Structure formats: structure tokens, C-alpha cells
Amino acid sequence: MSEDEEILIKAEFNPIVKTYIFLYVCGILLVTVVGIPLAIIWICGWGQWYSRHFYEKLYCVLTEKHLRFRMGILFTVDKTIPLENIQDLTFYEGPVLRHFNLAMLKVETAGQGEHSGNQMKLVGIIGAHEFRSRVLQQREAVKMKLTAANENDPQIILLEKISASLERIEANLKK
């Protein structure tokens, strides 16, 4: 992604994401026996600090050709996905997310396996439905530009001629 690419939308995240992250990690720690001592440290202050800083580091923008997402404190994830590779944006709203008035957008890209772990998950975007619609609209615009560009590509024209020639040869061989 080039840095001079125009930003079409900068996603804003709901501040309640801090509480969601705090309780989500707390729940995971409390479920495991090893995590119970860590849960005490988490509840006594480190969790609030981590959740606040995690929220402040959340960043997601839609540009003309890419969707870029950055998150994390200790382990930072910075993903840039070309829009033409996005297969779908799944809107997910479970009971816990609904309780916090949050939603999750899961970005599914071409070539990903179901369990590959490379999918991008965006939790807590304000106006998630509108953001999803805008990303899908921009994806279609990018695909239309690529299709138009490919129609005039000399290599594509040559491959089409070769394909037609091979089809004629196959037809003559069958006779």
C-alpha cells in the first residue's frame, strides 16, 4: 500500500471495546487453573492499563485499493489487504457482543482455509453496517477497474487468440 493513497474512511471504535477486552481476557484466565493467579493481577490493574492502550492502538482505514488494520501492544498486528482479494465481510453479533452493543466484522480473503487463522477480525467499529457496505462498494469499484484494464491487455488478447486456435485444432482432431 502506498502512503499517498487517499483514505476514504477511517473507522472509529466504540470505547466500550476496552471493557469487552478486559472481561474477555479475564474470562479466559478464570477458565484455566494456571490463569487464576494471572486473573488476579489482570483484575488489580494490569487489565485496565492493557485494555486502554489496546483500544488506543486500534486503527482501521479504507483506502482506494486496500483495507488496513493495526492493533496490539505487546504483539502488534498490521495487515493490509488488497480489496480485490476480499471475498466477503461477515457481520457477527453474539450474545456477549450484543450485551456490549458491539459487533464483529470478519474479513475473508481469497485463498484462506477455514482454520488458517489469517482472517482479520474487527471488533467494535462504530457504524459497522455502513463500514461493511462501503468496503464492499469500494471492492466492486476496484474489480470493475481491473476488469476494464484486463480487456485491453495485449497478453490477454494473445491468450484469447491462442485459446481460440487450440479449440479449432481440437475440433479438427475430433473429425
Please state the separation of Cα 145 from the chain's center in Å: 22
Q: Has residue 80 been placed in a domain?
A: yes
Work out the angle at residue 26's Cα, subtended by the Cα atoms of residues 21 and 27, and round it to the nearest 5 degrees: 100
Asked whether residue 91 carries a pLDDT value surpassing 70, the answer given is yes
Domain annotation covers residue 174: no
Q: Is residue 102 part of a domain?
A: yes
The pTM for the full model equals: 0.73
At residue 113, does pLDDT exceed 70? Answer: no
- For residue 43, the enclosing domain spans 7-150
Structure-block grid coordinates of residue 37: 493467579
Residue 56 lies in a domain: yes
CA distances to 52, 64, 138 from 81, in Å:
26, 12, 13
Q: What is the pLDDT, as a whole number, of residue 117? A: 45
> Does residue 36 have a pLDDT over 90?
no
CATH number of the domain within which 114 lies = 2.30.29
Q: How many CB atoms lie within 10 A of CB 38?
A: 17
Q: Does some domain include residue 121?
A: yes
Is residue 111 predicted with pLDDT exceeding 70?
Answer: no
**Number of residues assigned to the chain:** 175
Work out the mean pLDDT of the chain and round it to a whole number: 86
Would you state the pLDDT for residue 150? 65
Mean pLDDT of 87-115: 83
Q: Is the pLDDT of residue 116 over 70?
A: no
Indicate if the pLDDT at residue 118 is higher than 80. no
- What is the domain count for the chain? 1
Classify residue 17: in a domain, yes or no.
yes
The pLDDT of 71-92, averaged and rounded, is 89
Q: Is residue 161 part of a domain?
A: no
Mean pLDDT on 123-140? 92
> Does residue 157 sit within a domain?
no
